[in-house]
Structure 1
Amino acid sequence: MFIRFPLNLEKVSAKKVSEFIREQLEEAIILKELLSEEQLPSERELAEIFNASRITVREALSQLESKGLIEKRVGAKGGTFILPVTANSHKRTRAEIKRDWEQMLKVFEYRTIIEPEGAYLAAERITAGELELLQSYLDKSMEPECTREWFRALDVKFHLTIAKASGNPYCEAAVRQIRTKINPALDLMPYDEEIRAVNYGIHSEILTALKARDREQSREIMRRHIGNSGEAIYARLVAKG
């Protein structure tokens, strides 16, 4: 029996090593795993980490610098430093978000499938240590000195911790992918005491459901939270524009 071609196969795409390095570092920055003012390892150290040449690493860093994600500084305290993503969010304009809104909608559809189910699983599998972590993120988000950048980082940590607590590595990987896509839009959202209070309230509801091991409630509150987030982004960045 012969297979009829063409099947739905992707063409070979030769990705440059520098692009591979750039993608990993950019994801870590967007997901706030590398925070503002943290210093990256030297080019030599990065070359060893990625098993690549220093020229290749330098090319990847140059791409990140052009996006306003890192900054090279000279002098005694020189090096390559992470820039605050929210401070450079103007590089991702409302026009860009609006232009790509149809694609963003697909990401939100995917999110409404993945994250609520992740919360459902986490309610059964989450550890005491992970519950303590979530509570610490909530507490830190309401501290007076919590900056916009740190607030956004805590939000990401909260969601990624729940995804990890699901005990399903595919779910965790999916949430990382989703947050990488939507964080640039979230970084354009306003930041004030009201925003902090609303975020604290809904995250507290999710945490309470997780502590109670209530799977259905955890899933439902997460679904509501995600829906509200998508509507807020649309109202602020698309409709208002």
Structure 2
Amino acid sequence: MIQADFRPKEASDSSLGFEPIAPSRAFEEIAAQIRELVATGRLKPGDRLPAERDLSAKFKVSRNTLREALRALELSGMIELRKGAAGGAFVLPGSSGVVVNGLRDLYHLGAIKPDHLTEARVWLSEMVVRVACERMTEEDLAALEANVAAAAKADKAGNFQVRADLHREFHNLLAAATHNPIVQITMEGVMEVMREFVKAIGPSVNAYTLPSRRRLLKHLRARDADAAVAEMSKFLERLQANYMELWNSRKQ
């Protein structure tokens, strides 16, 4: 997941301009004000919010209401609540986990159907391969080659769970090779939902993933975007047809 470290400093409550809150859904209004301060740059990643006592006085709310707002912001990935003498509420630099968890929840709630998932995966992967072919570095290629070697080793050892994890990670490494964080986060989310989908249909064995990976790497090394996209598309169409067949037979 994409993260960065920042040195913490405490923001001054007098400079932030917090406003008193109306009683109705007060915790949501508090959270909205803090989000706005982050959006405008008055609160930055690594900043520590003023103490609970000072914040509740500024907002004119109880500490329980304030804590409810802080917990909501923590769940959304905006802040981190730390305990101890050096603790407090700290603004986070951001994490792809919020998006990934959101997509996974949508899948479990039924808002994302298996056919949506498989279709989106094919479209996204084609774009990722084409862009990665243009932008990837030697380090990116080395990471992909190491992944395929590790997957082959796991396959030979009969460790199918490790192999499956490595196959999913291959797609995340490809997305990272685009050097676009939005693409990378989106792929992480799709592959996490894919993990849940595959877990639901059960394990399946195929002999075509590793040979396809090796052909794809050859095309990527040659910077042959058209051949690389064609290889990925052919592989995914075959894989997704297999997945949907297993899914449909499971529903019967």
Shorter-normalised TM-score: what interval?
0.5 to 0.7
Out of 104, 115, 126, the residue aligned to residue 105 of structure 1 is 115
The answer to whether the aligner puts 1:137 opposite 2:150 as a matched pair is no
Q: Does the alignment pair 1:190 with 2:200? A: no
Aligned to 1:116: 126
| Residues 2-50 of structure 1, C-alpha deviations (whole Å, 9 max, x = no match) | xxxxxxxxxx8x99848965x98xxxxxxxxxxxxxxxxxxxxxxxx94
1:176 deviation in Å? 0.9
Sort the Cα spacing of 1:190 and 1:127 in 2 relative to 1 into closer, same or farther, 3 A: same
The count of corresponding residues between Structure 1 and Structure 2 is: 160
The correspondence of residues 1-241 of structure 1 with structure 2, limited to 5 A, is 17=71, 50-51=80-81, 100=110, 103-143=113-153, 144-145=156-157, 147-187=159-199, 188-192=201-205, 195=206, 197-239=207-249, 241=252
Offset of 1:203 from its aligned partner? 1.3
Query: For residue 190 of structure 1, what is the amino acid of its counterpart?
Result: P
RMSD over equivalenced CA pairs, Å: 3.3
Larger deviation: 143-152 or 173-182? 143-152
- The ranges of structure 1 where at least 4 consecutive aligned residues each deviate by more than 6 angstroms after the TM superposition are none
Alpha-carbon shift at residue 109 of structure 1 (Å): 2.2
Report 1 or 2 for greater relative contact order, CA contacts < 8 Å, sequence distance ≥ 6.
1
Q: What amino acid does structure 1 have at the position aligned with 2:81?
A: N
Stretches of structure 1 lacking an aligned partner (at least 5 in a row): 1-11, 25-48, 55-95
TM-score by length of 1: 0.56
Shift of 1:226: 2.1
Q: Is the 8 A contact 2:209 2:235 kept in 1?
A: no
Return the index of the structure with the highest Cα Rg: 2
CA positional deviation for 1:189: 3.9
CA contact (8 A) 1:118 1:162 kept: yes
Percent identical among aligned pairs is 16
Preserved contact between residue 212 and residue 235 of structure 2 (Cα < 8 Å): yes
Query: Gaps (5+ residues) in structure 2?
Result: 1-27, 32-67, 85-106
- Shift in CA distance, 146/124, structure 1 to aligned 2, threshold 3 Å: farther
